[in-house]
């Protein structure tokens, strides 16, 4: 490592207390120049490193942190503001006396991997993922790639960053640039059996985000090993100005380019990513976007075929299909509150082999219980090859047996989310549904159910409705609840 004293602030600099309101439930996300800038990120980086470093030297943490290095890994996405914010975080961590490994331009899962691979105390990815171009943020993990949330360390980091009461007698840390992705690529490739792959044509839309270089490396590996695949690359070059729009395939308009490319290229599969590629979105051979809940069921079945009787973790927004698949394949169903920090902890507690959210986050025990956007499509091309089925054939039975509305979002204009959730619970109480408040409100009426919850990241309320094989009932109930929400001032987003 090279000494970094020339790029750090002096550790003894005094800081005036400030308020930082860019901290969210799971990460840090803010508008540039409003509640996020280089000075704020410096303070966050320094606070993060100081807390990790103090914990590293605490006697009661020795066993848990044994064999770890007093270092933090950091990467950043392709946004124009990300490199400067990353350098600010690096200065803060170096001034806290912690060594820093700079991974260069990365996706979030590369930081997850590197944190464990390099046995670091923690990791930071500078990214705003799918948020507007004038936003950015930081995703943080601690040792062994474990998440940090508001209830588990994030509030402590915020308090120290705001107070500016940093330790001022530390020796400056050292900085090392390690941009080689070979270990990460090799690990991801362990999830696919190349010998089982059949001829397939893929459309891969990287959204001009950080995915392009990793896609290139994975495709090269596949081709070098003789995989009979052909790839059409779409919006492939990383470009922080996002000339084809912010990469967010959850927005229907953003799906069109991938859908058209699949149809025009007569491809077997379409694949799209968000900006930091921690989510993977799939399109079938007819260009249809496949809702994430059905992908969870498909991957759960694939894992249970390989690992009988294992646990599968899923979130409570859409459950009928996932629970049916797990039961049919003799797995153990473990439900968790949605959100990566909850899913990962429940997976660790249960030892689950796989966890999935309908939001297109997929988690893997053999990827440090973390989410990956690259592993799902590799698993899918193996599944298409082994079964000889198309993606539409793999999921059509799921969709028919358990139709769902997809996630419907509403802006709140009159009441807050908790008021609306309480009111709808009262409205349906006379029908005596099975009630769960694990995540928002879930009411199960036997032949249909819904989940209504407040967004953790945006001023929205989110609705999901599903039925047991009755598309007409689904349509009726969706219309009824939408109309009722309108009376409460909830307007479709």
Report the catalytic residues.
129
Query: Within 13 Å and on the Cβ side, how many CA atoms surround 485?
Result: 26
Q: Count of residues for the chain?
A: 493
Query: Within 13 Å and on the Cβ side, how many CA atoms surround 335?
Result: 13
The token duo for 254 is 């953003």
The token duo for 262 is 């699949």
CA–centroid distance for 472 within its chain? 33
- Cα distance between residue 276 and residue 248, in whole Å: 10
Per the listing, tokens 């090269």 go with: 220
Nearest to 279 by CA among 347, 365, 207, 183: 207
Q: How would you class 473 by CB atoms within 10 Å of its CB: exposed for 0-12, middle for 13-18, buried for 19 or more?
A: middle
- Cα distance between residue 19 and residue 40, in whole Å: 10
Q: What is the 3-state secondary structure (H, E, C) of 155-208?
A: HHHHHHHHHCCCCCCCCCCEEEECCCCHHHHHHHHCCCCHHHCCCEEEEEECCC
CB burial of 121-141 (b: ≥16 within 10 Å; e: otherwise) equals bbbbbbbbbbbebebbbbbbb
Strand partners, 272: 205, 281
- Cα distance between residue 400 and residue 88, in whole Å: 51
Pairing between strand 28-31 and 200-205?
Answer: unpaired
Question: Other CB atoms closer than 10 Å to residue 481's CB: what's the count?
Answer: 20
Strand ordering across the sheet containing 280-283? 229-234, 200-205, 269-273, 280-283
- Cα distance between residue 87 and residue 104, in whole Å: 11
With a CB cutoff of 8 Å and minimum separation 6, the contacts of 377 are 202, 204, 269, 271, 280, 282
CA–centroid distance for 374 within its chain? 12
Strand partners, 282: 271
∠ CA 182-185-191, rounded to 5°: 145
- Cα distance between residue 352 and residue 426, in whole Å: 36
């Amino acid at each position: 490592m090279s000494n970094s004293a020339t790029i750090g602030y002096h550790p003894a600099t005094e800081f005036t207390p400030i308020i930082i309101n860019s901290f969210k439930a799971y990460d840090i996300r803010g508008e540039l120049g409003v509640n996020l800038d280089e000075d704020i990120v410096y303070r966050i980086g320094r606070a993060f490193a100081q807390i990790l470093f103090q914990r590293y030297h605490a006697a009661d943490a020795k066993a848990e942190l044994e064999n770890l290095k007093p270092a933090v890994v950091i990467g950043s996405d392709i946004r124009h503001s990300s490199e400067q914010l990353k350098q600010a975080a690096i200065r803060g961590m170096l001034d806290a006396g912690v060594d820093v490994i700079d991974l260069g331009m990365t996706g979030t899962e590369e930081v997850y991997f590197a944190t464990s691979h390099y046995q670091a105390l923690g990791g930071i990815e500078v990214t705003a993922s799918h948020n507007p171009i004038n936003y950015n943020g930081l995703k943080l993990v601690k040792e062994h790639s474990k998440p940090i949330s508001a209830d588990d360390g994030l509030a402590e980091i915020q308090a120290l960053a705001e107070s500016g009461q940093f330790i001022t007698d530390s020796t400056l840390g050292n900085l090392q640039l390690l941009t080689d992705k070979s270990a990460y690529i090799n690990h991801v490739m362990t999830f696919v059996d190349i010998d089982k792959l059949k001829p397939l044509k893929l459309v891969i839309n990287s959204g001009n985000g950080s995915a392009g270089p990793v896609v290139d490396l994975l495709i090269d590996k596949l081709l070098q090993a003789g995989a009979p695949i052909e790839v059409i690359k779409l919006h492939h070059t990383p470009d922080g100005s996002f000339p084809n729009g912010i990469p967010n395939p959850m927005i229907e308009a953003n799906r069109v380019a991938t859908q058209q490319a699949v149809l025009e290229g007569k491809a077997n599969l379409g694949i799209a990513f968000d900006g930091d590629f921690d989510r993977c979105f799939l399109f079938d051979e007819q260009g249809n976007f496949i809702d994430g809940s059905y992908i969870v069921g498909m991957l759960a079945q694939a894992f249970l075929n390989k690992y009988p009787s294992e646990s599968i973790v899923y979130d409570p927004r859409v459950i009928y299909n996932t629970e049916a698949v797990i039961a049919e394949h003799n797995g153990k169903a473990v439900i968790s509150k949605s959100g990566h920090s909850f899913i990962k902890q429940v997976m660790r507690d249960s030892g689950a082999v796989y966890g999935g959210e309908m939001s297109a986050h997929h988690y893997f025990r053999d990827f440090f219980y973390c989410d990956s956007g690259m592993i799902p499509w590799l698993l899918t091309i193996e599944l298409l090859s082994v079964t000889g089925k198309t993606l539409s054939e793999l999921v059509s039975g799921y969709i028919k047996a358990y139709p769902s509305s997809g996630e419907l979002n509403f802006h709140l204009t009159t009441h807050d989310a908790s008021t609306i959730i309480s009111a709808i619970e009262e409205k349906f109480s006379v029908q005596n549904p099975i009630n769960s408040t694990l995540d928002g409100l879930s009411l199960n009426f036997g032949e249909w159910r819904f989940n209504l919850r407040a967004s953790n990241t945006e001023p929205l309320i989110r609705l999901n409705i599903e039925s047991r094989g009755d598309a007409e009932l689904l349509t009726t109930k969706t219309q009824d609840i939408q109309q009722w929400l309108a009376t409460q001032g909830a307007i479709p987003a």
